[in-house]
Structure 1
Amino acid sequence: MINKKYLNGVIWLLLIILLGISFMINVTHYFNTKEIDTASSLCYEKGGNVILKIYNNLTSEYYFSCEKK
């Protein structure tokens, strides 16, 4: 029979790991969004056109380019 203390410990550990992973994904998404916003603003200030392709929302992989008009 599984000890309740052991099971509670495992559940708490898994919960903490899941919260940590969720936090890291959200922080990465936040900073990538800020980076894209800043780069887009600078591109528009220079009179360029923004080309943005997001490959994966979970890993925040994207391609950014600023092309002159």
Structure 2
Amino acid sequence: MINKKSQFLLGLTIISVTFLLLVSFFIITSSYFHSKEIGEFTAQCYERGGEVLLEIHNSLTSSYSFECKMDK
């Protein structure tokens, strides 16, 4: 028979693991979609003859600033 303290610890462990899995999923998903966007924006910029100015702000999530500088 499981006592109340063991039940509490089991519940806390399940909640913690679930939270960590969700956070990991959101970080991986964000990083994936930012990488896809960067690739598409870069390709479009080069097709138009522009120069890519890219700054990665966070390497974990790949948050970024992007600019396509066109020569006039």
TM-score interval, smaller chain: 0.7 to 0.9
Count matched residues: 69
> What is the distance in 2 between the residues matched to 1:3 and 1:62?
46
- Which runs of 4 or more aligned residues in structure 1 lie more than 4 Å from their structure 2 counterparts after TM superposition? none
The equivalent residue for 2:11 is: 9
**Bigger Rg over Cα:** 2
2:31–2:63 CA contact under 8 A, matched in 1: no
The equivalent residue for 1:65 is: 67
Task: Please give the root-mean-square deviation of Cα atoms over the aligned residues, in Å.
Answer: 1.7
Unaligned runs of 5+ in 2: none
> What is the distance in 1 between the residues matched to 2:55 and 2:4?
50
Q: TM-score, normalised by structure 1?
A: 0.88
How much has 1:66 moved relative to structure 2? 0.6
1:3-59, Cα deviation, whole Å (9 max, x unpaired): 112101100110000000000011011111111110000001001111100112234
Q: TM-score, normalised by structure 2?
A: 0.84
